[in-house]
């Protein structure tokens, strides 16, 4: 008979935050990481070019297509997906090292990646979907962001419709019509699912 656990530290969970491009998931996940030291961002590997404000190893690991393909061939990814024509993935080593240190890894990834992680880690994965207030509001945000071509914005909006259909498979859904209110909702979910109860 195994001894009863006397402390109430829950097993670390994989916190997956998905949303259509421009719905605010990066802002919300950054706020979450500042609030809870038990959470840590899982840094993805990507084939997309580095943006001027991004730092290698902090925002992403930037690699070329052949390096990414080598990692796929060696089965090093816990999940990977093709998004907007570029590949993004999370290595198993990244996830396992965070879990081993008792951290709850936070993933800012698309629905394909989220389903792949769930297939691998099962109930340890907490799926949260962030909705924009409306598709009109989403388009406005994408246009205001600058840096994206009209074609890219159109592509992202088309993807948003299919991503929103997948949101039914998520544990929680939050509408980001007010950042502070959406953040309070997100905080409550994390406290309840990751920090309070024993798994």
What domains can you pick out in the chain, each with its CATH number? Answer: 14-194 (3.40.50.300)
Strands ordered across the beta sheet of 60-62 = 60-62, 44-46, 86-91, 77-83
Q: Which of 60-64, 143-147, 150-154 has the lowest mean pLDDT?
A: 143-147
How large is the average pLDDT for residues 144-170? 87
State the Cα–Cα distance between residues 5 and 56, nearest whole angstrom: 40
- Torsion (CA) 148, 17, 89, 167 in degrees, nearest 10: -80
Quick one: pLDDT at residue 57? 92
Quick one: pLDDT at residue 110? 87
Quick one: pLDDT at residue 9? 59
Position 197 confidence tier, pLDDT thresholds 50, 70, 90:
low
Predicted model pTM: 0.85
Quick one: pLDDT at residue 1? 47
How large is the average pLDDT for residues 136-162? 85
pLDDT digits (tens, 9 = 90+) for 1-22: 444 444 455 789 999 999 998 8
What residues contact residue 101 under an 8 Å CB cut-off, 6+ apart?
none
How large is the average pLDDT for residues 146-165? 86
How large is the average pLDDT for residues 139-167? 86
The tokens for 8 are 């109430």
């Amino acid at each position: 008979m195994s001894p009863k656990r006397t402390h109430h530290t829950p097993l670390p969970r994989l916190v997956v935050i998905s949303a259509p491009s421009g719905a605010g998931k990066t802002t919300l996940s950054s706020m979450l990481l500042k609030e809870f030291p038990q959470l840590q961002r899982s840094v993805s590997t990507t084939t997309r070019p580095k943006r001027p404000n991004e730092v290698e190893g902090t925002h992403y690991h930037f690699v070329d297509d052949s390096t990414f393909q080598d990692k796929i061939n060696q089965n090093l990814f816990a999940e990977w997906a093709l998004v907007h024509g570029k590949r993004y993935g999370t290595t198993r080593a990244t996830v396992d090292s965070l879990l081993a240190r008792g951290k709850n890894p936070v993933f800012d990834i698309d629905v394909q990646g989220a389903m792949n992680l769930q297939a691998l880690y099962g109930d340890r994965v907490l799926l949260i979907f962030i909705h924009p207030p409306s598709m009109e509001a989403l388009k406005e945000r994408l246009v205001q962001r600058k840096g994206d071509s009209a074609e890219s914005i159109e592509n992202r909006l088309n993807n948003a419709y299919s991503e929103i259909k997948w949101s039914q498979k998520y544990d929680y859904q939050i509408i980001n019509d007010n950042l502070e209110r959406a953040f309070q909702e997100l905080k409550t979910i994390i406290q309840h699912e990751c920090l309070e109860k024993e798994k």
